[in-house]
Amino acid sequence: MTRRFLHRLVQILPTALGALVLVFVLLRIVPGDPAAAMLGVSATPESVQALRTQLGLDRPLWRQFLDYVGGLIRLDLGTSLAFRVPVAQLLAQALGPTLLLALGGTVVSVLIGVPTGVVAALNRGKPIDQLVSVLALVGISLPVFVWGVVLLVLFTLHWRVLPASGLGEGVGGTLKALVLPSLATGMFLAGLVSRITRSSVLGVLGQDYVRTAWAKGLEPMHVFRRHVLRNALIPVVTVVGLNMGTLLGGVVVVEGIFARPGLGRLLLDAIYARDYPLIQGIVLVSVLMTILLNQLVDLLYTLLDPRVAA
């Protein structure tokens, strides 16, 4: 397991580094100067120059890059230009809420998608099957911001049950603040999961080994749990893994609507302020997150399907 992880890391590392160089260079070519960004409308040519010097932006490009890579080796991601604190600190602050929300959205999608898909599969052809299918289709066709805005107004104003923004205090508060954003984020994936669950349950139900188990006289529920569900869930895991990217995109929009200070917001602000070290830090974190997520998906595969060689 660890060998596979390291193997993957070694594979990804050169391309990650390449991507980093690309982003590094492009950021400095692109119009918009961090010093000008920070000074805003009070900027003057002299003050911008002074700030550029203070931030070390007037040194040659290769020098800046070497310093940055040197810092990386020491696990120092540099200091944010716009907020004047270590990049690592901002990333740590933002990573938690984003991961929580991504997790929340995934949980929501599975909690809604799997049962509805199973129900639809078991009642194939009947009205409830049609209903679930329609809802699932609507789920994947409606943009995430509509969910977010509607949920916001309904549950925080009409029925004042949940907080409108922020991260919440303590475990209870955090969970309460997660409910609506997770729902908004997870709806799209819930639709996908529902559809996949339905089709894969149907598929497994038709397999020989299931019929054999029934013929042997095993209890239907037992058969269901042990054989059908386990195998049916494999494509679900696949689909969830594949759509992590889209989920994270939804997280960016939802974080804005519910004012959660996560990576999405951080990236928007970093881009706006041309905060190079911060943008680079976020790029690095995204790549690492993907590796981790892929490893997680692989892990789930081995748990669900022992036939897959470890």
Partner 1 sequence: MRIRWVVGAVLLSLVLAGASLGGPAEPDTLVIVFPSHQGTLDGHFAVTTQDMLVVRNVYNALMKYKPDTTELTGDLAERWEVSPDGLVYTFRLRRNVTWQKGYGRLTAQDVKASFDRLRDPETRSPFAGLLSMVREIQVLDPYTIRFVLSEPYAPFLHLLTNYRVGPVVNARAARERGAAFAWDPVGTGPYEVERAIPRTEVVLRAFDQHFGGRPRIRRIITRTVPDLNAMVVGLENGQYHMLYSIQALDESVIKRLRERGFSVTYYSRNLPRVLLMNVTKKPLDDVRVRRAIAHAINRQQVIALSMAGYGRPWYSPVPEGYFAATTQVPRYEYNPEKARQLLVEAGYRDGLDLPMQVFDVMKVTSDVIAEQLRRVGIRVQQEVLDQPTFIQRVLRRDGSISFAVHCCVRQPDPDFYLSDIFSRSKGGAIYISGLDLEAELAAARRETNVEKRRQMYVALQRKIMENVWMIPLVMEFDRNVHVPQLRGMPRRVEALWGLDLSRLSFE
Partner 2 sequence: MGRRGFAGGWETSAVRRLRRAIGGSWILWIASGFVILLGAVAFLAPYLRLTDPFAQSLERLAPPSPEHPFGTDRLGRDVFSRTVWATRYALAVGIGTVGVGGTVGTLWGMAAGFSGPFVQEALSRLVDVFLSFPPLILAMVVVTLIGNGVFPVVVALSFGVAPRFARVARAVVLAVRVQGYVEAARALGASSPRILVRHILPNTLDALIVLATLTVPTAILTEALLSFLGIGIVEPTPTWGNIASMGQMVLREAPWVVFAPSLVLLLTVLSFNLLGDAVRDALDPTVSRGVWMRRVERADLEPEPARIASRRIPAG
Are 193 and 114 contacting, i.e. CB atoms less than 8 angstroms apart?
A: yes
Residues between 271 and 290 with contacts to partner 2, criterion CB under 8 A: 271, 279, 286-287, 290
Please give the angle made by the CA atoms of 54, 19 and 295, to the nearest 5 degrees: 120
With contacts defined by CB under 8 A, name the span among 21-29, 104-112, 211-219, 254-262 that binds partner 1: 254-262
Which one of residues 123, 135, 265, 287 is an interface residue with partner 1 (CB under 8 A)? 265
Cβ–Cβ < 8 Å for 300, 105: no
- Of residues 18 through 57, those in contact with partner 1 by CB under 8 A are 31-48, 50-51, 53-54
User: In the window 109-168, what residues touch partner 1 (CB under 8 A)?
Assistant: 149, 152-153, 156-157, 160, 163-166
Q: Give the range of 57-65, 198-206, 232-240, 270-278 binding partner 1 by CB under 8 A.
A: 270-278
Which neighbouring-strand residues pair with 244?
none
Place of tokens 């519910």: 258
Closest by alpha carbon to 195, among 305, 105, 114?
114
Tokens 């901002």 found at: 90
Interface with partner 1 (CB under 8 A), residue from 104, 261, 277, 281: 261
Helix (H) or strand (E) holding 77: none
When asked if residue 272 is in the footprint of partner 1 (CB under 8 A), the reply is yes
Tell me, by CB under 8 A, how many residues bind partner 2. 66
- In sequence order, the 6+-apart residues with CB closer than 8 A to the CB of 16 are 284, 287
Question: What x/- string results for residues 218 through 257 when contact with partner 2 is judged by CB under 8 A?
Answer: -------------xx-xx--xx--x-xxxxxxx-xx--xx
Question: Strand, helix or coil at 86?
Answer: strand
d(CA 93, CA 265): 12
For 21, the token pair is 């160089």
| 140 contact choice in partner 1, partner 2, none (CB below 5 to 8 Å, kind-dependent) | partner 2
The least distance separating partner 2 from the CB of residue 279, rounded to whole angstroms, comes to 8
* Distance, first Cα to last Cα, the chain: 8
User: Which one of partner 1, partner 2, none interacts with residue 84, CB within 5 to 8 A by kind?
Assistant: partner 1
Residues that bind partner 1 (CB under 8 A): 31-48, 50-51, 53-54, 79-80, 82-85, 89-90, 93, 149, 152-153, 156-157, 160, 163-166, 256-259, 261, 265-266, 269, 272-274
